[in-house]
Structure 1
């Protein structure tokens, strides 16, 4: 299913959501932290994806206002990271190219709601002076076959023209 991330009526990027995944989108909102007592933090529009049969996997996209390059995107991740995962330990950093666009991948482990998780965050430098930020969280025991779906979503990401 084609999905477009828009802001102010203008598409910033597009991707394909897999079959049997739920897509939820909302405008600017408050992002809850990984623990129930964490204070919410305001963020830009978030598009979240979850497999319908697996409640322990989550993927989200955001394009933060005012962030225009990879370094800014990584700094943004450092700022919101504690709201996504507690006690994160980065195990891998990699610069790459995603569909012709520079990207940086940061992967690691941590905890969310008392469970161990693995996470992967990808910052993509869009050609329109913005970045796309994707975060994927797999809780311990989640179906690892869903990694193929996650990779397909990222492989489908295209900048809006």
Structure 2
């Protein structure tokens, strides 16, 4: 092979290697209510996003029903041991109200929760509170993170992550990247 062909192939290979990262990027999504954007975040590549509208959840054992606003949930495409969900509950206007809301719906998320840490942080430049802990879900052990982010105009974003025992801890980097991409849109 001639020296010119080798150089052309090397340049072409370098171009395609350089382009590999260009086509692979996270997907920005926007949480809206009534057509108004409230916040956004990026879903990592090879994760699937599921959305649902407002609905009622019922605890069949207690006969207890709770209203839930639109939920946007994401998980890796090929692994259901990791999950993150976002919601902006209507009428919940502060971080403290957000945690009262979570206490009302926690039985639908994690059984027997044990809090291991509680911190005040900033996410997307906004005040937030993050509670981490362990519990049970679907008969197995889980680690969870419950986060309430104070949005402008008397709204909050509530995010919950759940990792089943034995989940690939490499997904923690993806979850942290989702939080790092969080941005208010009001």
Shared fold (TM-score, shorter chain, > 0.5)? yes
Which structure 2 residue ranges, 5 or more long, are not aligned? 1-26
1:101 & 1:12 partners in 2: Cα distance? 13
The residue aligned with 2:139 is 114
Q: Deviations over 1:71-124 (max 9, x none)?
A: 111111111111100000011100011121000000100000100000001100
**Aligned-residue CA RMSD (Å):** 1.6
Query: Taking structure 1 as reference, are residues 54 and 94 closer, same or farther at Cα in structure 2, changes over 3 Å only?
Result: same
Q: Deviations over 1:121-144 (max 9, x none)?
A: 110001121000000000011111
Structure label with greater radius of gyration? 2
Kindly indicate whether the alpha-carbon contact (under 8 Å) linking 1:93 and 1:104 is maintained by their aligned counterparts in 2: yes
Query: Taking structure 1 as reference, are residues 53 and 136 closer, same or farther at Cα in structure 2, changes over 3 Å only?
Result: same
The residue aligned with 2:130 is 105
Kindly indicate whether the alpha-carbon contact (under 8 Å) linking 1:21 and 1:49 is maintained by their aligned counterparts in 2: yes
Give TM-score scaled by structure 1 length. Answer: 0.93
SS in 2 for 1:144: coil
Kindly indicate whether the alpha-carbon contact (under 8 Å) linking 1:54 and 1:143 is maintained by their aligned counterparts in 2: no
Asked if 1:91 is matched to 2:116, the reply is: yes
Equivalent residue for 1:14, pick from 26, 40, 45: 40
Give TM-score scaled by structure 2 length. Answer: 0.81
The residue aligned with 2:151 is 126
Which structure 1 residue ranges, 5 or more long, are not aligned? none
